[in-house]
Amino acid sequence: MTRLVPTAVLAACFTFMAALSASAQSIDETINSIFASSTGWFVTLIFSNFPGTSFPWIVGWLVVAATVFTVYFGVIQFRAFGHAIALVKGDYSDPDDAGEVSHFQALATALSGTVGLGNIAGVAVAIGIGGPGATFWMILAGLLGMASKFTECTLGVKYRNEYANGTVSGGPMYYLTKGFAERGMPGGRFLAIMFSIFCILGAFGGGNMFQANQAHAQLTNVFGPYPGFITGIIFAGIVFAVIVGGLKSIARVTEKVVPIMGVIYVGTALIIILMNYDMIGWAFGQIFAGAFTGLGVAGGFVGALIQGFRRAAFSNEAGVGSAAIAHSAVRTKEPITEGFVSLLEPLIDTVIVCTMTALVIIITGQLISDPETGLYLLNEAGTAIRTVGDTSGVALTSAAFSSSIGGFKYILALAVILFAFSTMISWSYYGLKAWTYLFGEGKAQELTFKSIFCVFVVIGASASLGPVIDFSDAAIFAMAVVNIIGLYVLMPIVKRELDSYWSRLKSGEIRKFT
Amino acid sequence: MSEKFVVGYDGSDVAKRALDFAVSRAKAQGGSILIVHVLEWSPYSFLTPQELEERHARRTEELERAEKALMSPLKSTIAAAGVPVETQIKYGHVAKTLCDIAKKEGATQMVIGRDGDGGLSSRVFGSVAGSLVQVAPVPCTIVP
């Protein structure tokens, strides 16, 4: 097994290479059609509408959950905000724990898994289909999502496994089994298995194929068109070197450069917004008007709402359960502290970074509207808003940035590649944790998963955006279905932790070290 | 009050010279030695998920290795010379951690070595000795 898998991957690569000279473009088409036809049923299941409406039940599921947690924990996202910042700064960290995983590090790692192409390309998809109004719903979803993230990350730390060799493993699979057992509820093990299956699919989809797909889209945007599987194979090779070959240097460089790219991205967006400061009021006007009227987009304001919520959930992953895996390694005696820290994740990811992208696209006038009615004009198929260069996804974001700052597309291409890469590394880890939960720990099991993961990089870069984004969303939302059931059952436990910690904080029993 | 010397030690030749210097002074003055080894660490660095998972295990290993390779051999030789000795291994910013320990332990003097190698990195980021000269809470001797 150990030897077979890499050989199979190599053989697959050579087959691709050999076919390269024959007919490069048809390979992409073949991969696309096989992929689209084999995943269609799953996508339909997840995105089916409430009977008699055009509202996908899964979007309602996420919003209702985020609202329930927001109410149940007394608007924790605003109450605990200041304390979350103090925790990240290290004000409450015991100096004797120096050298252990800090709150900052857990948050930074989780963020590098979530800040990715969802923020650059996903937002463009939302605005392109749902219009500026989608931004409003995206921000609202981000704010509500903070409460979901708080709940799942607290549980992630509380029910993590700490092994004798000093390593830790946490995430929904552990809190579903242990937490349900503690509450005397059946079905925890079943949910954990379902979660693991969906998590593996999510790792292949949103954590991998969508990233490879949009990285390739941006590369062709810069260098001109060429077959996607070439990008796929190069990406797969590098990912393989890091996750299988243990090439830590690449991972380490990425981890250092990604935050810098994030700052450059937000900084550039701010500059463009300030350059067009006279348009800011108009842009927010479009966002509010679009949020409640739709301004002519397909599906009206419900269309804007669905796109906003859908892309927000895809971007910040609140309620999905993935972040609970990354956050659970932190060194703390109080699981709830990591919950507070994780609140900041949807805020940074969605409320700040996604909104920047949206504002730049709106302000630079990429969306074409009818000057007389003020409504947006749709493309021929009537599915999306017509844009200046007929672009969508990452190409739309790139066009928006480049229209103000020429040449930014090169920097954006670099940012896209790095974000895509760091998200892939994070998700390969999430997927691996789910995989080893199902199949047991061991080198052979790990290698099998990692090899399949690399194959999906190639598929993702080759397939077209539509099927890839549908499958990616479906897989990630399927994780949320299982995870949120667990969160409902376990939220009284989080409440108990919260009440206990909060009273000790107020009484001064928990104090700052500095 | 007897003298208490905090010595920054990393196993290098200059660190050994600094320690010898401190031991000879402590012996002459009837003082004691506190050897501190600081592992450079920032809580604001970025790690991969895999590194997060293994961090606690790695830290335990690093502490054991430092204790075994650096600290244990020193304890017996210095104690044999008739000077009371303690050791501490800490994570953090080297200069800041040394100062914190000096304050906390009520040290009266600090001794560290310097390598005198004014390389590019120390020009840009400063050196431990250079920082201590500016922020040390007690008299600080720098041994060349």
Q: What is the pLDDT of residues A255-305, one digit of tens each?
A: 777 888 888 889 999 999 999 999 899 999 999 988 888 777 777 888 888
| A residues 317..356 contacting B (CB < 8 A) | 325-326, 329-331
CA nearest A332: which of A125, A497, A129? A497
Q: What is the pLDDT of residues A444-457, one digit of tens each?
A: 988 999 999 999 99
**Measured between alpha carbons, how far is A250 from A418 in angstroms, rounded to an integer?**
11
Does residue A498 contact residue A210 with C-beta atoms inside 8 Å?
A: no
Whether A102 sits inside 8 A of B52 (CB atoms) is: no
User: How many structural domains are present in chain A?
Assistant: 1
Strand partners, A56: A49
Task: Find the chain B residues whose C-beta atoms sit closer than 8 A to any C-beta of A.
Answer: 39, 41, 43-50, 52-60, 62-63, 90-92, 100
Whether B57 sits inside 8 A of A252 (CB atoms) is: no
Partners of A425 on chain B (C-beta within 8 Å) are 48-49
Please report whether residue A512 resides in a domain. no
Strand partners, B90: B38
**Measured between alpha carbons, how far is A310 from A138 in angstroms, rounded to an integer?**
8
Residue of A94, A105, A161 to mutate for B, most B C-beta atoms under 10 A: A105
Whether A105 sits inside 8 A of B91 (CB atoms) is: no
Q: What is the pLDDT of residues B75-107, one digit of tens each?
A: 888 888 888 888 999 998 888 898 999 899 888
**Measured between alpha carbons, how far is A207 from A184 in angstroms, rounded to an integer?**
34
What is the pLDDT at residue A210?
87
Partners of B46 on chain A (C-beta within 8 Å) are 105, 108-109, 112, 255-256, 258-259
| A residues 362..381 contacting B (CB < 8 A) | none
Distance of CA A46 to the CA centre of its chain: 17
Name the residue of chain A whose CA is nearest to B42's CA.
A99
Distance from CA of B39 to the nearest CA of A (A): 8
What is the pLDDT at residue A6?
56
Domains of chain B by residue range: 4-143
Q: Which H or E element spans position A346?
A: helix A344-346
Please report whether residue A218 resides in a domain. yes
Mean pLDDT throughout B40-56? Answer: 84
Inform me whether the C-beta atom of residue A101 falls under 8 Å from chain B C-beta atoms.
yes
Q: Tell me what ipTM this predicted complex has.
A: 0.84
Which of B43, B57, B60 minimises the CB distance to A105?
Answer: B43
% of chain A residues with pLDDT over 70: 95
What is the pLDDT at residue A497?
93
Please report whether residue A156 resides in a domain. yes
Name the residue of chain A whose CA is nearest to B43's CA.
A102
What single-letter amino acid sits at A310? R
The alpha-helical segments, DSSP class H, found in chain B are: 13-29, 49-66, 72-80, 94-104, 120-125, 128-135
Whether A329 sits inside 8 A of B57 (CB atoms) is: no
Whether B56 sits inside 8 A of A331 (CB atoms) is: yes
**Measured between alpha carbons, how far is B10 from A41 in angstroms, rounded to an integer?**
62
What is the pLDDT at residue B115?
73
CA nearest A312: which of A174, A146, A491? A146
DSSP three-state, residue A508 = coil
Whether B55 sits inside 8 A of A93 (CB atoms) is: no
Backbone angles phi, psi at B7, to 5 degrees: -115, 120
**Measured between alpha carbons, how far is A85 from A64 in angstroms, rounded to an integer?**
27
Which domain range does residue A92 map to?
55-506
| C-alpha Rg value of chain A to the nearest Å | 22
- Residue A120, both tokens: 């650059």
Inform me whether the C-beta atom of residue A91 falls under 8 Å from chain B C-beta atoms.
no
Is the pLDDT at A13 greater than 90? The verdict is no
Inform me whether the C-beta atom of residue A437 falls under 8 Å from chain B C-beta atoms.
no
Mean pLDDT throughout A18-39? Answer: 68
Whether B48 sits inside 8 A of A165 (CB atoms) is: no
Q: What is the pLDDT of residues A345-395, one digit of tens each?
A: 999 999 999 999 999 999 998 888 888 877 888 887 777 888 887 788 888
Query: How much is the mean pLDDT over chain A?
Result: 86
Residue of B54, B55, B91 to mutate for A, most A C-beta atoms under 10 A: B55
Whether A169 sits inside 8 A of B53 (CB atoms) is: yes
Whether A325 sits inside 8 A of B62 (CB atoms) is: no
What is the pLDDT at residue A21?
43
- Give me the CATH number covering residue A64: 1.20.1740.10
Whether B49 sits inside 8 A of A102 (CB atoms) is: no
CA nearest A247: which of A371, A425, A79, A390? A425
Does residue A327 contact residue A106 with C-beta atoms inside 8 Å?
A: yes
pLDDT level of residue A16 (50, 70, 90 thresholds): low
Does residue B43 contact residue A102 with C-beta atoms inside 8 Å?
A: yes
Provide the 10 A C-beta neighbour count for residue A225. 9
Backbone angles phi, psi at A387, to 5 degrees: -115, 165
DSSP three-state, residue B19 = helix
Does residue A321 contact residue A145 with C-beta atoms inside 8 Å?
A: no
Inform me whether the C-beta atom of residue A252 falls under 8 Å from chain B C-beta atoms.
yes
Residue A340 burial class via C-beta count within 10 angstroms: exposed 0-12, middle 13-18, buried 19 and up: buried
Q: How many CB pairs under 8 A join A and B?
A: 84
Partners of A99 on chain B (C-beta within 8 Å) are 39, 41, 59, 62-63, 91
Which of B49, B60, B100 minimises the CB distance to A429?
Answer: B49
Strand partners, B7: B35, B111
What distances in angstroms separate CA A469 from CA A134, A182, A394, A415, one per listed residue? 17, 38, 12, 20
Name the residue of chain B whose CA is nearest to A431's CA.
B49
**Measured between alpha carbons, how far is B127 from B144 in angstroms, rounded to an integer?**
13
Distance from CA of A495 to the nearest CA of B (A): 27
Whether A95 sits inside 8 A of B56 (CB atoms) is: no
pLDDT level of residue A487 (50, 70, 90 thresholds): very high
% of chain B residues with pLDDT over 70: 92
Name the residue of chain B whose CA is nearest to A256's CA.
B46
- Site of tokens 């350059």: A275
Q: What is the pLDDT of residues A110-157, one digit of tens each?
A: 888 888 888 888 899 889 888 889 999 999 999 999 999 999 999 999
Inform me whether the C-beta atom of residue A167 falls under 8 Å from chain B C-beta atoms.
yes
Is the pLDDT at A197 greater than 90? The verdict is yes
Give residues with Cβ within 8 angstroms of A147, minimum separation 6.
A66, A69, A70, A73, A75, A76, A77, A343
Please report whether residue A43 resides in a domain. no
**Measured between alpha carbons, how far is A355 from A351 in angstroms, rounded to an integer?**
6
Is the pLDDT at A10 greater than 60? The verdict is no
CATH placement of domain B4-143: 3.40.50.620
Name the residue of chain B whose CA is nearest to A169's CA.
B53
Q: What is the pLDDT of residues A61-113, one digit of tens each?
A: 988 999 999 999 999 999 999 999 999 998 888 888 888 889 998 998 888 88
Whether A95 sits inside 8 A of B43 (CB atoms) is: no
**Number of DSSP helices (H) and strands (E) in chain A, helices first:** 24, 2
